[in-house]
Structure 1
């Protein structure tokens, strides 16, 4: 749950908005309160896709699906506004963490807890299927662990009997690793596909690992069709049940009633001693709206509409939040915008690469076909271990050009999947909260990727002119191999990788050469085109750039 932002509406329909709950492919989800005090989850269609008939048809179908399914295992529809923009639906607000968050923070579930989870979720699916609806996107992020038991959420691509699919040609619905083989291969969607997703979801709960590995979405889907699910270390009886759920032939998968019988649980999941503490992880509901007042919401620019949009960073309390979002492979949208947030790689935001290979830093250790990233040079005397501050190894030749709004060179290796970054200056910060002479650099992953090895990220910032040995600007431009000012390296996957990490220049940067450390250069000492380079580091002297951006400093040297 995040605080409201300056651009968020104060209310939708009759509901006062209290906080942000998350974002999806169709729009933003808010926590709202009715005039009588009832809490609801309000899903609002993004403004830039309201003129797309297919998108609106899908949203209206979601509303009708949620309206039709009145189950104890789903959040029921309360209200909707489907006649004019902004289009929205309001459902019951369910307190409790997602299954994904619970596993990430508390670790894998016990085998007996997993059996009770299977039985409870099977009962929920049976209830949904009785209405002639298949969920089609069951996964750990779409299961809420509530006090009354697991709740199935996000029916955005759910489909009832006889309904026409609204997906693009060649694109299967669902999430890689949780989508059934028959859906991926033939787009055949049925109740058995939900059983496959249930098995994959429980495999994640039992192991804490992605059920078919990590990496490029196409590679993960290939493993789901042709490979075996990862249940190494799972109790044999539970492992056998999971294998049956994810059988390649949908006819061989057990139905919900058979799953409940096979689990043979004698205690409800809500009474499970492992489950009960998880419910307490629910976010605290704010009493009053939390929003930065005084800022005028900007108009929404046209944004790419393929795939889910990257959400805008949630900044620390010291300042506001940039609103502008862009999607693409190193693309910059406009020069006069506030802050741009990029999602890499592009291709509709699906996280895939053009050649089907898993980008560096996202490889599963079980996938030998994927490279291991940069290796330590043979003559590097530094010890192995986490890097601290990357050092000059004669490879910093990136330079940002403000006129073209691009860099002269691409990264030396691909960035991680779903990597987002932002660059904000005081001149381009519409909130006016970033002090003059400061720049804020942000990065995160759009979606969580649990159980990956460390991926250390360091940021380098270079002024327009080449630095001398003392970290002062010389007379030549920066198209050289002279290193700039660097930040401390940090593990991208430590903690919640979907939370934004922000660095402030010059506060969090320093110049390091000849064993000496010098403070970063003030922006006013070298106005012009500054370059920002993100590096993947395996040691202080083994690192490669993954992308390059920049900003314009118009500060002048004070008299």
Structure 2
């Protein structure tokens, strides 16, 4: 969200403009306030496009579509002016990041979260299809993760039953990698819908839904990167990228992106196969995504819109200005967090606070069972790196760019240990699906502060008798011709409850300490062989607080759900940032 510029109008219609939310190929989106004080998103078409008949037709169609569709999954139209310049429309303002921004910032989502989101988006599409409208440009950048659930935006190339497609010869609507093969090859708008839309584009929307969820589950474009022709060729002829995705989720995504439209499931079947048993807004990972407070830029994935040359970029909504501390979010299961950015101060301390040195501001980690600040707030004395992958299930990997090598300024060696100088509010919870939970699948309640190292970081934990074997590696690092720069990692193991430092026995309250940590090790220590680095708890772990060292306690002291947080360590014991979170259960 950016401040208004001198060239921006003060008002559009009756709406007072407050800030810039985003920009795209067709125009600018502003945050506005209605005369009655309601926040609205005002989309204004660019002056240079007003003389383009096909672009104006597209904009009018978007307004007509938004006016016609009344759904819990779409922002309702508030007002519009389509008769004379400036052309604009105002919709309900939905605070929250786009799915594209959330995944780019936090990384791939856990399988459980993906299934809940999958079902919600399928239900949203079905509600749109019920009005005889197909979206035709569903993609991660057109999904806002709102407090009450996802919202579908940008109906600029949506198509109603019997409507004429606004597409130039030789061009297909939609976004490469998310557009169905039958649309790309010009064989129609998508075959029979199979879900009551009455329009062939229903099956094309199912394809786009599958491709969108492939991105959410992997953190990677579903058909790779490249120019539009290359990506589109892959979408028509090659399989979708589902490497590392949980098998059940992968099977459902694969069915949705089948090359033959007739082989794709209808939206009711998609919802049923997701097997959702609780609300998406109760999902701790989904809640954590709502605290993202960064402005959303122009779409990374460009839309080739009908009537426009390739490269049109529809407008995205933003939440808060860069550098603005995000809002506190209540992360207790069953409650949605606050989704509007604000400066937050965390005051709740657990009984373990006797261990902690004083600190100011936020602690960089949001909480369970109370108010929580988001990871962007950071810890005094440390600047968090680029935000990274969300909490992922055990034995699965995050994705993302490789952060700078650790070791401190001028190549200093890493700290010998990390200081337990902060409150940690990460909590790992097993899957709500009994079968997945039995296999150790679960998710952390919060995202992390940095992207994991390498293209495919993998980590897992296995309880073996009275110890836990913890493994980690960067997959495919061995394919590099030279050893990557050192990247030092300390793993924190934390019991579910606060522990008495004298006896090692648990207190009856949540643990908010950093936990028992390992000596920092270079994740590329076994680079040549591609083997996992392994650590054993409690043997390789101790807690370091205020100059004192406490050995790891036996697992049997505190049965329940233990949390593992992987930290990128610098040359100062107090300088470290999380990049991965998982956990395990002690019976």
Displacement of 1:127: 0.1
* Offset at residue 195 of structure 1 (A): 0.6
Tell me the CA shift for residue 30 of structure 1: 0.9
Partner residue, 2:418: none
1:49 aligns with 2:53: no
Work out whether residues 154 and 314 of structure 2, in 8 Å CA contact, stay in contact via their aligned partners in 1.
no
Deviation at 1:273, TM superposition (A): 1.2
Can you give the 5+ residue segments of structure 1 that lack an aligned partner in the other structure? 286-303, 318-383, 386-449, 455-559
Any idea what SS the aligned residue of 1:155 has? coil
Return the alpha-carbon distance in structure 1 between the equivalents of residues 209 and 187 of structure 2: 18
* RMSD of equivalent CA atoms: 2.8
Q: Quick check: 1:42–1:89 contact (8 Å CA) kept in 2?
A: yes
1:283 shift after superposition: 6.0
- Tell me how far apart the structure 1 counterparts of residues 453 and 214 of structure 2 sit (CA, whole Å): 17
Q: CA deviation at 1:104?
A: 1.3
1:222 to 221, 230, 233: 233
Cα distance in 2 for residues equivalent to 1:270 and 1:316: 25
CA drift of 1:260 comes to 0.9
3-state SS in 2 of match to 1:22:
strand
Residue of structure 2 in register with 1:120 after alignment: 120
8 Å Cα contact 1:95/1:282 also seen in 2: no
Write the distance in 1 (CA, Å) between the matches of 2:155 and 2:169.
21
Residue 308 in 1 paired to residue 279 in 2?
A: no
Structure 2 Cα separation of the partners of residues 136 and 8 of structure 1? 31
Asked whether the equivalents of residues 45 and 87 of structure 1 are also in contact (C-alpha less than 8 Å), the reply is yes
CA separation of 1:140/1:310 partners in 2, compared to 1, >3 Å: closer, same or farther? closer
Q: Distance in 2 between matches of 1:245 and 1:183?
A: 15
1:480-499 to structure 2, matched below 5 A, reads: none
Partner of residue 183, structure 1? 183
In the alignment, what sits opposite 1:478?
Answer: none
Q: In the alignment, is residue 239 of structure 1 matched against residue 250 of structure 2?
A: yes
- Give the C-alpha shift of residue 280 in structure 1: 2.2
1:177 touches 1:221 (CA, 8 Å); kept in 2? yes
Contact 1:49/1:305, CA 8 A, preserved across alignment: no
Conserved? CA contact 1:96–1:283, under 8 Å: no
The alignment partner of 2:115 has SS state of: helix
Deviates more, 1:116-125 or 1:14-23: 14-23
Aligned residue number for residue 271 of structure 1: 282
CA distance in 2, matches of 1:89, 1:149: 23
- The answer to whether structure 1 residue 154 and structure 2 residue 154 are counterparts is yes
Shift of 1:253: 0.6
Contact 1:208 1:451 in 2 (8 A): no
1-structure distance, mates of 2:80, 2:227: 37
Aligned equivalents of 1:151 and 1:13: distance in 2? 25
2:100 paired with 1:100:
yes
- Taking the aligned partners of 1:250 and 1:105, their CA distance within structure 2 comes to 33
Q: Distance in 1 between matches of 2:310 and 2:223?
A: 25
Deviation at residue 187 of structure 1 after TM alignment: 5.4
CA pair 137-310 structure 1, distance change in 2 beyond 3 A: closer
- In structure 2, the CA distance between the partners of 1:451 and 1:199, relative to structure 1 (3 Å rule), is farther
For 1:86 and 1:453, how far apart are their aligned partners in 2? 47
Once the two structures are TM-superposed, the CA of residue 24 in structure 1 deviates from its matched residue by 2.4
1:12 corresponds to 2:12: yes
With over 3 angstroms needed to count, the CA separation of the structure-2 counterparts of 1:90 and 1:2, relative to structure 1, is same
Structure 2: runs of 5+ lacking an equivalent = 190-200, 297-307, 316-320, 324-404, 407-450, 456-587
Match of 2:130 in 1: 130
Q: How far apart in 2 are the matches of 1:452 and 1:228?
A: 27
The number of residue pairs the alignment matches comes to 304
Residue by residue over 1:338-393, the C-alpha shift from the partner in whole angstroms, topping out at 9 and shown as x without a partner, is: xxxxxxxxxxxxxxxxxxxxxxxxxxxxxxxxxxxxxxxxxxxxxx99xxxxxxxx
